[in-house]
Amino acid sequence: MLDFGPVCPHGFVIPDDPNGYGNFYINKTMSECAAACKFAMYTDEEWDRVEVYADVSVSIGIPMMVLLIYAYVFDHDKRNHYLVRIFAWQSLANSIVTAIMQSIPLKDRFCRNNADMLRASDGFTLCALQSVVFVFTAMGMAICWLLQTNSIFMKVVLGKRNIPSKLHRDMFLIFGLPAISTIVMLITGSYGYTRGSYGCLFSPIVRENHVDMYVMFIPLSVICVAGSVMMGAVLIKTTKVFVAYYHMHRPTRSQSLGGSDETPTGLQGDGHPGAVPRPRLQAISTSAGSAPTLDGGDRSTTTVSSVGASTAATTQLQELELTSMWTLTVYLRAPILFLMIFLLIYVTLVIAGFVGTTRRNIYLGR
């Protein structure tokens, strides 16, 4: 009788290196089967679907980022939008590295053997490069987003039109803080691949030192919360402006019927043809109990006229302010839409990171 040796269930293998650091045995005393590097927390169909999504995203993302960079470099009106340019460059770098990784078979890009994963001890690999680039660019793009959100918040909510540029501060925040996170990850050797992930980011050692939480997930969560609060204030202010602008400029009933607030010609005064029109303010003063005079010298009429002029001036100022806010809001509609979409993507990434970790720990019995 032929002996084919131990047979492992789907997602588990006999390790090429039985003593590998990343090997995970369900029960080594009863079975020599260990979890495969391509972990079975996802089916083969799910793995293939993720591969297709990644290929499509980089195929679309790289050309779009190139066009965005071209527009913001060569368009004279957009050259001072350095936050958008930096965001586009970092996104392009991330997409290029992802495209390179996608060109390599999964087992070669993530795994050192059939049961163990690439990690810091394997030296400089494409997996290590992807980890470094992803942490650096993800943090940098998030900070760009937060700075852009703060700028729009100050313009729309606080009403500050001329905000002085703080280039040196922004450059330190965008490049300095991600550099600190990346250096900490490199020093602690926390970069690499974790079984069940879709890309190289952190190695399993982070289960012990929690570097991933300190250098990426907690900072991203803080950024998302702070940006969400400011974006919420911007949306509330924008909604109020839209409603006020609509009420101020919507047609009245008489205008919608083709009429006007003025008394029709030929039916003025007492309603007889050719009668002298009655001024509205004079009628108001009469209803108040003061007898109007022909020379307009009545004190109550003058007072009502002053009140009417003051009201008109106030209305004009309100219209001017609303028009200014409307123009500003319309001008910022593209950045606001960009910020909302970016927030949705980053919140999804953070949630996916926590959910994926929880799901992997359940499958591994931890």
The 3-state DSSP class for residue 119 equals strand
Q: Cα separation of 269 and 279, whole Å? A: 9
More confident residue, 22 or 299: 22
User: Quick one: residue 75, left, alpha or beta (phi over 0 = left, psi -120 to 50 = alpha)?
Assistant: beta
At 135, is the pLDDT very low, low, confident or very high (cuts 50, 70, 90)? very high
How confident is the model over 48-97, as pLDDT tens digits? 888 888 888 888 888 988 888 888 777 766 666 788 889 889 989 999 99
CA nearest to 149, candidates 346, 335, 350, 4: 335
Q: Return the pLDDT at 156.
A: 80
At 271, is the pLDDT very low, low, confident or very high (cuts 50, 70, 90)? very low
Q: Which of 10-14, 29-33, 143-147, 252-256 has the highest mean pLDDT?
A: 143-147
Looking at the chain, the number of H-run helices and the number of E-run strands are: 13, 4
How confident is the model over 340-358, as pLDDT tens digits? 666 666 566 666 656 555 6
Q: For residue 301, is pLDDT > 50?
A: no
Q: What is the DSSP string of 337-366?
A: HHHHHHHHHHHHHHHHHHHHHHHHHHHTT-
Torsion angle, CA of 220/225/230/235, rounded to 10 degrees? 110
What's the token pair of residue 8? Answer: 């492992």
How confident is the model over 331-342, as pLDDT tens digits? 555 566 666 666
Q: Return the pLDDT at 338.
A: 62
How confident is the model over 304-340, as pLDDT tens digits? 445 455 555 555 555 555 556 556 555 555 566 666 6
Q: Cα separation of 268 and 279, whole Å? A: 10
More confident residue, 210 or 4: 210
The 3-state DSSP class for residue 191 equals strand
Average pLDDT of the residues in 245-253: 63
Query: What mean pLDDT is reported for the chain?
Result: 74
